[in-house]
């Protein structure tokens, strides 16, 4: 890592931080631009607003609203003209800094700025087309996986009938062959290039990747580990540091979604086999502990199915991420949702390696949830009621070991870009 601090021609303080993962140029702590190792713009901050750029060259703007907290944020996707304007500003600023420092900076700073200057709006637009060839759209990831390297072993969702989900309505479920998946891995690797260093983990998608039969799934995991270094499990701090030094570009594990009603249900032995190959955490849409609400949402499983799945995963040495839909079922289901969801969570063997996410019910394009509410004559919860429901849900959780309890966090699907 190299850091250069200087005063620019306008008398403003500028810091340039060149790391293996990214290059950050910051001015007066109120303006910053972040680029990956290759030079792609990742994010920006100025005028009190955050910007996140996707690999499809779309930019999400976020800013604080009149209400405090995540749920009060204002969000919008920039127009194409706005995208071009922002990217022109970012790369123009980087070019100005490169010209100003001239020969007075460490070589690593010069190299980083040189890589950044190989990009501009036109090149990012060309990569937008390349991204579409590499991936079917990457629709969603859990927040702790936003910087994952996404690998599509499957496309779409094997079920695809949940009323609240519209992520995969545009595609049929498809399982790649092992050979197709190996080719996909190489294509992804070439696409990211040095930008791989920014990615912290590997996420195996799409929605139901772990439903792939074990006889095919194990070779897929082996294909991943043949191309990417996965941090071994259970290393002490010293050994971990030594291993990381020997593998400067590596990933902390493999992560994925799983449902509780798959036709290819796995047992602890299967999960242990995958854990040996790097599987670290699996995310499960509990949604609610109320059986009637599950049916209303279009989920075919029971809460008991989720409980059994969590026990199997934990027995196989795999952590879990539990996703709860806050506001699901509106006013009609609210009390049962709070009561029964707390009851299910309190039966699970969760620890500090696990996560619980509160995901606000959002009428996502393509979903049929709003029609469900209208047909049933149910009023949705207002944002204040949703926030109060989160408080009540959290108050009902009683973990077995409070000193090693799972982290409980907020999950807003409207803030995801890849």
pLDDT tens per residue across all 418 residues of the chain: 899 998 887 889 999 999 999 999 999 989 999 999 999 999 999 999 999 999 999 999 998 776 665 566 789 999 999 999 999 999 999 999 998 887 778 899 999 999 999 999 999 999 999 999 999 989 999 999 999 999 999 999 988 888 898 888 888 999 999 999 999 999 999 999 999 999 999 999 998 899 999 999 999 999 999 999 999 988 999 999 999 999 999 999 999 999 998 767 899 999 999 999 999 999 999 999 999 999 999 999 999 999 999 999 999 999 999 999 999 999 999 999 999 999 999 999 999 999 999 999 988 777 888 888 899 999 999 988 999 999 999 999 999 999 999 999 999 999 999 9
Predicted pLDDT at 208: 84
Predicted pLDDT at 343: 98
Spatial strand order of the sheet with 407-411 comes to 148-152, 201-205, 254-258, 279-287, 319-326, 355-360, 407-411
Among 261, 258, 303, smallest CA distance to 281 is for: 258
Gap between the Cα atoms of 288 and 359, Å rounded = 11
In sequence order, the 6+-apart residues with CB closer than 8 A to the CB of 189 are: 196, 227
Q: Pairing relation of β-strands 319-326 and 355-360?
A: parallel
- pTM here is 0.94
Q: Domains of the chain: which residue ranges?
A: 2-126, 135-415
Predicted pLDDT at 370: 87
DSSP per-residue codes, 19-54: -SSEEEEEETTTEEEEEETTS-EEEEEETTEEEEE-
Predicted pLDDT at 69: 58
Torsion angle of the four alpha carbons 73, 68, 145, 28, in this order, in degrees rounded to the nearest 10: 80
When the candidates are 3.40.50.1220, 3.30.70.360, 1.10.3720.10, 3.20.20.70, the CATH number that belongs to 135-415 is 3.20.20.70
């Amino acid at each position: 890592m190299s850091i250069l601090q200087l005063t620019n021609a306008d008398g403003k303080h500028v810091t340039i931080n060149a790391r293996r993962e990214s290059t950050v140029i910051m001015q007066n702590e109120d303006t910053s631009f972040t680029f990956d190792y290759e030079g792609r713009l990742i994010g920006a901050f100025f005028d009190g607003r955050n910007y996140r750029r996707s690999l499809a060259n779309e930019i999400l703007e976020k800013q604080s609203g009149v209400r405090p907290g995540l749920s009060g944020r204002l969000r919008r996707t920039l127009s194409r003209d706005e995208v071009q304007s922002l990217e022109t500003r970012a790369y123009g600023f980087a070019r100005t800094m490169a010209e100003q420092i001239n020969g007075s900076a460490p070589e690593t700073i010069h190299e980083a700025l040189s890589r950044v200057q190989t990009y501009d709006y036109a090149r990012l637009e060309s990569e937008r087309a390349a991204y579409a060839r590499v991936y079917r759209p990457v629709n969603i990831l859990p927040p702790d996986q936003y910087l994952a390297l996404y690998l599509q072993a499957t496309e779409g969702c094997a079920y695809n009938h949940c009323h609240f989900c519209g992520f995969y309505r545009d595609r049929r479920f498809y399982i790649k062959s092992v050979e197709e998946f190996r080719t996909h891995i190489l294509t992804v690797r070439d696409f990211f290039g040095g930008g791989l260093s920014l990615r912290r983990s590997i996420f195996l998608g799409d929605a139901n990747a772990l439903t792939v039969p074990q006889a095919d799934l194990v070779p897929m995991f082996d294909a991943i580990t043949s191309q990417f270094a996965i941090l071994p499990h259970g290393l002490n701090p010293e050994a971990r540091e030594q291993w990381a030094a020997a593998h400067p570009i590596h990933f902390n594990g493999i992560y994925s979604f799983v449902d509780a009603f798959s036709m290819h249900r796995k047992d602890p032995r299967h999960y242990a086999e995958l854990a040996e190959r790097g599987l670290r955490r699996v995310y499960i849409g509990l949604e609610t502990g109320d059986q009637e609400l599950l049916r209303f949402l279009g989920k075919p499983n029971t809460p008991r199915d989720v409980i059994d799945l969590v026990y199997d995963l934990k027995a196989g040495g795999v952590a879990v991420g539990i996703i709860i839909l806050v506001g699901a079922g509106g006013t009609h289901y609210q009390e049962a949702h709070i009561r029964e969801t707390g009851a299910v969570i309190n039966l699970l063997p969760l620890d500090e390696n696990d996560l619980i996410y509160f995901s606000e019910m959002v009428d996502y394009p393509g979903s049929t949830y709003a029609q469900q509410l209208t047909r049933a004559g149910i009023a949705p919860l207002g944002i204040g009621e949703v926030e109060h429901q989160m408080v009540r849900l959290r108050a009902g959780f009683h973990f077995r070991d409070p000193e090693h309890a799972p982290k409980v966090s907020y999950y807003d699907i409207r803030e995801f870009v890849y």
